[in-house]
Structure 1
Amino acid sequence: MTDPAALLLALRHADGTFPSGGFAFSQGLEARAALADDFGPFDLAAFLADQVLRRWAGADRVALVRAHRAAADLDRVATVDAEVEASTASEPLRAGSRRNGLAFLTAHRRLGTPGAEAYHRRIREGMAPGHVAVVQGLLWARLGLDETTASAMGGHVAVIGPATAAIRLGLVGAIEAQTAIATVTADLAAVCRRPIADGQPFSAFLPVVEIACARHATGDLRLFSN
């Protein structure tokens, strides 16, 4: 049985109201929805499935887990961080991940989470980029959350963020968003069960979203940064 204290801690830190700065990012959802004429009708469930299976599973989750395992050694965490920076081809998504990571880290600094101040200093000194998945793995480990729980939290955040963005953009209602989230829950759980090797490389393939984000970055009217 899950310890209630650990469960409540996980729920609090993965909740959409946690001040992580993620509200400013749609992870490419706004960009993809705006290009329906070029790439076909926007479908939230399909978008979330792609996020989970084509990006989060092979890239963000791998970074989170590797950072979680390395949490006691900030040099190793920074190495994972540098790999994320080098392997993220899309500049809008790369910049968004860094900004989201910094906002997440800043909130944890104010909360006094162990390791937050030291890693924030590394980012200020240019010794680490501070990608959000890496910061999640580091800080959730420092809070005492185990690897499986941290992985599930990261997946939850990766799905809830775009779904909330879709509601704010008026693309779907709250019930439609929950229905779309439910369609990817089994995939998300299956991904969280996959073993991750130490030093496992990152892999992601979302060309349509990356193209959409590149166009979106030059647009005049947009609600989200990416």
Structure 2
Amino acid sequence: MTVSGNPQNFCGQSKEGEGHSVTLTEKSGHLAWCALVALALARQNGDALSPAQENLFLTRWLATALKQRRFSRDVAPDIEWLLKQGRQLGVSAKLASKLNYLWRSCTGELSEQNDLFRLTYALETAKDMSWNYRLLSDREWSGRYAVALSAGVNGIYLSRTNLDAAFDDDGRQINPLLTRLTGNVGGVVKLFNRCGWHAESEGDASLPYQFTLMARQGVSGKD
């Protein structure tokens, strides 16, 4: 990202136009855009050239934004989470990647991609956020040798057979996709939503972690 101009033109409270109420998605996208612009300007100035410098810059920027209340309180949880990631994980937090994902998901760029791309994007983002992702064989998915799941582990589990049958050659969903989610389920469901996927619990007491994933756009029979 190459930018020029006064950083103050890009940061601070997002403005509400006449007759337009700014949505949470727009507020989150504005936050991510401001952070990415600030980082781009820092790179141009030679202040954030290495991964360690980049993480330090973004961590300080987020801390200042939170302290000075530069953004709507609605996105304070996003700032706090990113700040915690940067402080605890350091370079491994990949803050720039997370902010880039947040910006893309909030500006609609992901909605232009096919279902399989958006699912893959969600899964890769979850892995960047330290989620455990596993593609299970039929033997691991059900039966006496099924993988044991733990509510205390942030995990996403898919059946390889089910995944292969869920999409056509164009990456369009043609069949429901089963997944098992553990840990902070609410957080990963929100991630799926931002990538254009809806996760619905099966409501089966014998399979408490099982969800059905359906693409919100482009699903056969769902248009």
TM-score by length of 2: 0.29
**Relative contact order, CA 8 A, sep 6+: which one is greater?**
1
Larger radius of gyration between Structure 1 and Structure 2: 2
Structure with a larger share of its residues in helix? 1
Structure with a larger share of its residues in strand? 2
